[in-house]
Amino acid sequence: MLAAREMRKPLADGRAEVEKCARACDWFADHGPGMLEPEPVLTEADRTYVAYVPLGVLFAIMPWNFPYWQVMRALAPALLAGNVIVLKHAPSTTGCALLLQEVVSEARFPPDVFSVLIVAPGRTAEISEPVISDDRIAAVTLTGSTGAGRAVAAVAGGALKKSVLELGGSDPFVVLADADVESAAAWAVRSRFQNAGQSCIAAKRILVEELIVDDFAERLLRHVRELRVGDPTEPGVTIVPLRAKIFGTR
């Protein structure tokens, strides 16, 4: 409900996102320790192995479209590997960031393993540069635009900090003549309109083989008409205005 009110995410998408976060935590709890085991390597020495050690403090800059998942997919493996995280979330999902901080605290983690910076809109670059350059920060991760990625990479490179960047993409949805046209149309609509269309893996353009284009278009439009537009806090709504501002006068 908080995500629905804050960034207009439909309730069904919000529940799915939270469940995905829980599954990720379970997966890393089950598989993470094994991934961090030292790996023996055959050399001329008596004993050679690759060891995994914590980096330290990680700075995470995360977007608003998946306010829980984008944080948890970084937080779960980072904490498991012995690191701590400082989060700079999108200003439009500040409540979601603070709620995640409460969740970590209630899970009885040590104090300050997950900290949240509250940054006003338009001040991300101003705040991020001194944080990334701080000697206590070991690495930075960002999910956002190509422009933001370039800016963060430049600062991280100048400070010799490790960085992981997930930037924008525009992959096509390709439908060939031998496809299951009904299934392809249904998945095309789901891909394009999931999370009210705000997903980096959403289909940005659809390429259909000419032999089936009319059949595909008809089925696609039928599925689009089945989408429900409305308030994101109402069950069953799939398409919403993502960010709404109400202006009033006296």
Residue type, 148: A
Give 40's contacts (C-beta < 8 A, 6+ positions apart): 47, 48, 49
Closest among 40, 79, 90, 35 to 57, alpha carbons compared: 79
Between the CA of residue 103 and those of 37, 79, 121, 145, 233, what are the distances in Å?
28, 14, 25, 28, 22
Between the CA of residue 127 and those of 44, 73, 79, 160, 196, what are the distances in Å?
49, 23, 24, 18, 30
The residues annotated as belonging to the active site are 166, 200
